[in-house]
Amino acid sequence: MSKKIILTGFEPFGGSDVNPSILACQSFSKKSIGGYEIKAIEIPLHYKEIKQNIESILIKEKPEIVICTGQSPRSVISLERIAINIASLEKTAYSCGTKPMDEILDISGREGYFSTLPIRKIKDCLEENKIPCEISNSAGTFGCNQIFYHLMQFINNNEINILAGFIHVPSLPEQVISKNIPSMTLELIIRALEIAIKTTIEHLHEDK
């Protein structure tokens, strides 16, 4: 059985017909890097379905590495450090129309879970390749933080020995026309994700 990497991205939301996170992930679909088969999966931005979706993926696919991605209004690739146990929105709603306010994701869950991706190594490699990036200490309180939280919660609760975490990517140039929002080309986002994958594989082999 081949080793596997799962990449997830979200469906378009907020009136846009594209989402750079899933577009970048899909560029790797059915490809192989370093002996790892890559599978990209689109996650619907439906509040009550995200937990079940990510848990089902982990149970079915049994990957060695999981990198979830999502879109943000930031100007750089954001390597998220921690997911927190809350969902709270003031402006944008989930695609299903849900708009939680100060809602705990899991009443019995921890306050937060940390990424196990080698985010410092990934940041260094991205910077070496002239790609703007950061280590972020807040994944927000929307769907991106939610999938990140449930991903790490399931891994921790079931003592699964894999590397996993979340990466935010900027909007695409075509999404920000007439808006005062930064953007990044899809080609550069794909390159950043490729570096993150390769760096994580190298880190995994070093640990073993």
Q: Which residue has the higher pLDDT, 4 or 30?
A: 4
Task: Give yes or no for residue 16 having a pLDDT over 90.
Answer: no
Cα(124)–Cα(142) distance, rounded to whole angstroms? 27
Please give the average per-residue pLDDT across 199-207, as a whole number.
92
Task: Give yes or no for residue 1 having a pLDDT over 70.
Answer: no
* Confidence at 208, pLDDT banded by 50, 70, 90: low
Burial 127-165 (b: 16+ CB within 10 A, else e): eeeebebbebeebbbbbbbbbbbbbbbbbeeeeeebbbb
- Domain of 22 in residue numbering reads as 3-207
Give the chain's domain count: 1
The CATH number of residue 101's host domain is 3.40.630.20
**How much of the chain, in percent, has pLDDT values that exceed 90?**
91
Q: Residue 2: what pLDDT?
A: 75
Give the model confidence (pLDDT) of 96-133 as tens digits: 999 999 999 999 999 999 999 999 999 999 999 999 99
Q: Average pLDDT of the chain?
A: 96
Cα(183)–Cα(175) distance, rounded to whole angstroms? 8
What is the set of active-site residues?
Answer: 80, 144, 168
Task: Give yes or no for residue 14 having a pLDDT over 90.
Answer: no
Q: Residue 190: what pLDDT?
A: 98
* Confidence at 76, pLDDT banded by 50, 70, 90: very high
Task: Give yes or no for residue 91 having a pLDDT over 90.
Answer: no
